[in-house]
A = this chain, B = another copy of it.
Amino acid sequence: MTYTQLRPPTMADVARMAGVSHQTVSRVLGDHPNVRDETRAKVLHAIEEMGYRRNSSARALATRRTRTLGVVASNTTLYGPASTLFALEEAARAEGYVVSTVSLRELTVETLSEALAHLSQGGVEGVIALAPQRSAVEALAELRHPFPVVAVGTGSGVEIPSVNVDQFLGARLATGHLLASGHRTVWHLAGPEDWQEAVDRTDGWRATLEEAGVQPPLPLGGDWSPLSGYRAGQELAGWVGRGLTAVFVANDQMALGVLRALREAGVRTPQDVAVVGFDDIPESEFFAPPLTTVRQDFATVGKRSIALLLDLIEGRTPSGTSRVAIEPQLVVRASTFPYAPQSGAAPG
């Protein structure tokens, strides 16, 4: 078939065919109660017959509601952002909203600004910003935008309404688990410093050690990629036998690289060095060995974010006040076995 420019039927066309006024058609479509069944049937029949679809632009213009939300994200092929995106869309759709997305290669003032402008062109009523980099958050605070914005993954120390997984707590769970398993200290491979989540995880790790009266070793740094984990793992391997028996890695992908580097260096996991990751990506369970990690509940993040944004749009919540924090969960697997008898699923 070809999509010729024959103009699609309008409400008036339907009304004519059904022998009613266009307003009655509108009432039928809007499920207005005061329409006689017989009339409704006539209208529905005409709609069906003509293949009529309500013009969303005209509707949006008249109602001043587009029922569209925007999402700005980066690194959308990573498990975390992809999962959040999925949850956001599902939650928004459940509320009758369409979601338009902009996926950025990098978050800067410029790209963010363009993204918001682009979404504005799409007529969004509000925007969720998956903005894990701190620079992005600052940019967001500066930018003028005619709609409310909710930040996700920015940490709670920002001006903007935000929803976050409690990264500090997650790191505490991971580190505490290793200490409880008998390790004297826990090393740390951190994520990029300009990511708030990375900083929070490092802070949680450090705080846990300090509370246990342990002087934290100097953390290593990576960029979330398996490759950076691999490189850090090579360095870590050099410390085995000199006090290194446990590592908390800031995400699962880097942990994968660490595992490989350790293996290549002849270091056994978990017998020589225990490893904990963060995220619980689907592959983690099948790493060599299966990875103990911290699971984030992205579905809840999505739901809460949409709920908050809709509150803001409807004016139910004064913006600037809202901070939502969500608890993560430790998942114990073989990479910290046999030090971990207390909880979690056994590996398959």
- B3 and A312 form a contact (CB under 8 A): yes
Q: Which of A80-88, A165-173, A176-184 contacts B (4 or more CB under 8 A)?
A: A80-88
- B51 and A56 form a contact (CB under 8 A): no
What residues on B are CB-neighbors of A285 within 8 Å?
A: 226-227
- A121 and B286 form a contact (CB under 8 A): no
Contact of A282 among B3, B51, B67, B253 (CB under 8 A): B253
Decide: A76 near B85, CB < 8 A? Known: A102-B93, A260-B286. yes
What residues on B are CB-neighbors of A8 within 8 Å?
A: 146
Q: Which of A58-66, A195-203, A323-331 contacts B (4 or more CB under 8 A)?
A: A58-66
A313 beta carbon closer than 8 Å to chain B: yes
The CA-CA distance from A57 to B60 in the complex, in Å, is: 6
**18-49 of chain A: CB within 8 A of chain B:** none
What residues on B are CB-neighbors of A312 within 8 Å?
A: 3
- A residues near B (Cβ < 8 Å) are 1-5, 8, 51, 53, 55-58, 60-61, 66-68, 76-77, 79, 82-83, 85-86, 89-90, 93, 98-103, 118-123, 144, 146-148, 225-227, 229-230, 253, 256-257, 259-260, 263, 282-283, 285-288, 312-313, 315, 318-320, 348
* A93-B102, A98-B121, A100-B101 given; 13 more Cβ-contact pairs under 8 Å: A3-B146, A3-B313, A5-B315, A55-B61, A60-B60, A68-B100, A85-B103, A98-B118, A98-B119, A98-B122, A99-B100, A226-B286, A283-B283
